[in-house]
Each structure stands twice: as structure tokens, then as C-alpha cells.
A and B are shown apart, each in its own frame.
Chain A
């Protein structure tokens, strides 16, 4: 089990020590052209989570390759590059330029227009141009997660990441949307049950590695995602509140495993699939 950050929830260049406390660092999504992102207001806290509508702000592919990636490599943390675009060929063009990284295709940003092709078509286009490990990050807005996962696997994905944020809206006192864009991506503790259900459904459909994420704030949460079939776990919103979360979550995970009689978190893998957990005592 590796502990990662969710894409867009950490800047390794402003917080290198936080990135180095993870098993791998996942970049903010890189698009072909530079993007300023959406106008503020971009974030809003809700009672059980938060909304964001950042809008894939990033320096664009060329500046990323030339300026950002060399600095990231100096941190000596395994790198995952999140790749975005507005058409399959845009994703593929970025993938073709990346070497020695794991690629996570962002197929599910709720804050920008989507590519016209399906997730599987985008994965296939990228698979044709890269031999790097290729993960597909999918949306929780799917009634049939098994079908989604089987499609991206057939298209050549080496793994899946789930879940991205859910689309949500928050209103201010005068009943106007707080976010300038209106809607945003909903993340935080409220997302965990959604993530658990998505991972369970995906695990029943595939043997591929799954990076689970969605509302993880504690070691117990990590174990629950593993029990539903996640092979790796990513931290998102919790990193905003607690940059020391990776070390804390690992400590809690070790204690949780000890309490349940597991020698390692991997012992909990798929425990929830049978509906039976072998709990010591």
C-alpha cells in the first residue's frame, strides 16, 4: 500500500517536506495550454466537506516540462503526472512527452468542459503513445462503476484512480452561489461512503491496481478503502487542514491494524468484499 496525495491537493514546490512524506507525489493536472483557472471565489467550506472550482490552473505542458518537472525530480519522490485535456489527442500528446513517471489521466474534472470522447477512447489514445504506467482517474458520477472500469481496462489502463470530486453547489446568506462558477467539486469527509461504494464496485469488476481516495482523514479511513479493494490510497482535502496528515495517518493505520490483528494494511485487502472481516478478539 502506497500513500499518495490526490491531484490538485498539494504543491510539492511550495511544500517539499509534505511531498517527501508521501510514497509518491501526484502533480496538479497538466493541460496542453497554460490555464489561469476559474475566477474567484473558488472555494467554499460546507458542513461536511468543501467545494472547489479551481479550473485546472496550471502553467501548460511546455512550461511544465521545461521548468516544473526538472524541479520536481530534484525532490527524489516518485512522480505521478496528472494529465488533462479537452480532446483525446491533447491527452495523448502530453503522454508522449513524459518519461519515467506514472501517468494519471484526469478524465473527471467537474470544473471544466469535458472532452467529447469517452474515458476509454482517451485511455486508448494515450496507451498507443506511452509505455509508462497509465492510470485512469474516473468520476463518481457513474451508475455502473464496474462498466466504467472494464472499459478503461480494455482500453489499456494499468490501473484506476477513484474517486474524483462530486459536483456540488453552496449558497450564501442571500441564496446566491458562493463559487463564482456556480458549481464546484465536492470533497472531504462526506465523500468517503461514495468512494467506498465506487471502489467496491470497481474491485468486483477488475484485478487492476486501484488508487482509492475520497474523504480520507484518518488511518481507519485508509483501512476501509483497502478493505473495499483499494491497493493504494490518496489524501486530498485533509492535506489542506493538516500538512502533517501523511505521518499521522500512517501512525493511526498501524494502530488500527494492530487492534484488528492485521500484520500489515494489506491483510485487510478486499475484506469488505465478502462482508466478513476476520477480527481478532
Chain B
């Protein structure tokens, strides 16, 4: 496992991907880790950093896909080339990559870890769902993807004979789990620290509230 590091990193650029933003940072000596792991990104002017899963790791870069919906993600989306922010990671547990017939399933900004996952699994098929054509522009980041737009759901087109690795909104993950009980699901929760200190990000696992940053964010659903 890669040892997490917290360092200041320069912003190379912030690219528009439909309504989303792809934040490109200088990688330096920070390890990208395994797809599904996350990093705490300093959100300028905010008290707490924001947990973001790695989207892509081309040579010398760490890239994060952001949906500017609140003050933290908005501050991140306003970064400009040359700005510097603290980056802490990789944190948590990523996807298990030893699956014979992978299928990636993503919804909305939940596709964020899938481009890097697709690369690590050598571009398996993917099913991606978005709420609009404009949001679906982000599907270009994931090769071999079948795209559906609301009101069509990913679960309506998802084959059930494959090893599912999914990330998306909670209702989508629940629906995927109902069809594919063995799926690996990447969950989301508000997080203050990302390293087990705050106990803010608990989710129910096996009937107990456990810290998603320590036990997840990728959990096997069965």
C-alpha cells in the first residue's frame, strides 16, 4: 500500500468537462495509489479539506473530477494555474482489481474514480448514467462506455453476469447491489479528516456504524 503524504502541490490547469471541472495537479512524489482510494484536497478559504477520489494519473499529474455544488467544491473549481493547495493521500481502500470479468458502473459525478480504474483494468466495458447530455460529456473520460441519460437508469442496461465495480449516488448503488450482490461499491460520506480522526463519515457496515475513510470507501456489498 502507498503511504499517504500531505504536501503542497501546484495547479497545472483546471479544465471544463461539461459542467464538471478536472483539476490537474503536479504529482511530485505523491503516489496515485489504487483506483477508488481518495485524497483530501485543501479547499481555499474553507476550514476543512474535501475528499476526492483520484480520476486520472497521467505521468507527473494527479487529476480530480469535481462537481461544483457547494462552497468547498466551488472553491476548488475556482483554482487557477499556478495556485498551490495541500494534497493528502492516497487514503482509504480502493477497488480490488483481481476480478475476471469487470464491468464499471457509474452515475453522475460518481464516475470520478472510473477513468483511473478503467486504465488499471485495461479498459473493461462500462455503463454510465447522467442527468443531462451536458453532464454526459464526462463519459469521454471512460473508454468502452455505454451512456444512458435520465430517465433511463444504469440498472436498466447493466448486464448481470459480470464483476461489477460501481460508484455513484446512494440510490444507484442500492439498485446496483440489488442486481449484483457481489458488487464492489464506492460510497460517499461527509468527511472532516479522511484519516480516522473525526468519526464523522460513519456508514452502517454489518449492522455497525464504521468509519468509511478507514473501512472504505470501497466496500464489498455482500
Report B31-67 CB contacts with A as 1/0, cut-off 8 Å: 0000000000010001111000000000000000000
Report A36-55 CB contacts with B as 1/0, cut-off 8 Å: 11011111111111101010
Q: Known contacts A45-B72, A241-B47; is A14 also within 8 Å of B209 by CB? A: no
Are A50's CB and B192's CB within 8 A?
yes
Report B172-200 CB contacts with A as 1/0, cut-off 8 Å: 00000000000000000111110111111
- A43–B195 Cα distance when bound, in Å, is 15
Are B6's CB and A189's CB within 8 A?
no
Chain B residues near A239: list those with CB within 8 A: 193, 197
Q: Which of the residues A9, A15, A41, A242 comes within 8 Å of B86, measured between beta carbons? A: A242
Are A45's CB and B46's CB within 8 A?
yes
Chain B residues near A268: list those with CB within 8 A: none
- A189–B208 Cα distance when bound, in Å, is 32
Residues in A6-39 with C-beta less than 8 Å from chain B? 8-11, 14-15, 18, 28, 36-37, 39
Q: Known contacts A14-B214, A37-B209, A43-B190; is A57 also within 8 Å of B196 by CB? A: no
Are A242's CB and B6's CB within 8 A?
yes
Are A244's CB and B198's CB within 8 A?
no
Chain B residues near A46: list those with CB within 8 A: 47
Are B48's CB and A240's CB within 8 A?
yes
Report A132-150 CB contacts with B as 1/0, cut-off 8 Å: 0000000000000000000
- Minimum distance in angstroms from A244 CB to a CB of chain B: 6
Task: Pull 12 A–B residue pairs with CB atoms less than 8 Å apart, ordered by A.
Answer: A15-B195, A39-B209, A43-B191, A43-B200, A45-B47, A45-B48, A45-B72, A50-B47, A52-B200, A57-B209, A240-B197, A242-B6
Interface size on B, residues (CB 8 A): 27
Report A115-130 CB contacts with B as 1/0, cut-off 8 Å: 0000000000000000
For B190, give the chain A residue with the smallest CB separation.
A43
Are A52's CB and B198's CB within 8 A?
yes
For A52, give the chain B residue with the smallest CB separation.
B200
- Minimum distance in angstroms from B41 CB to a CB of chain A: 11
Measured CB to CB, the residues of A under 8 A from B are 8-11, 14-15, 18, 28, 36-37, 39-50, 52, 54, 57, 188-189, 237, 239-244
Chain B residues near A43: list those with CB within 8 A: 190-192, 198, 200-201
- Minimum distance in angstroms from A221 CB to a CB of chain B: 14
Are B189's CB and A40's CB within 8 A?
yes
For B40, give the chain A residue with the smallest CB separation.
A241
* B203 interface contact, C-beta 8 A: yes
Identify 8 new A-B residue pairs, CB closer than 8 A, beyond the known A42-B200, A43-B190, A43-B191.
A10-B197, A40-B202, A43-B200, A57-B202, A237-B192, A241-B49, A243-B197, A244-B6
Chain A residues near B203: list those with CB within 8 A: 40
Q: Known contacts A37-B199, A243-B6; is A44 also within 8 Å of B209 by CB? A: no
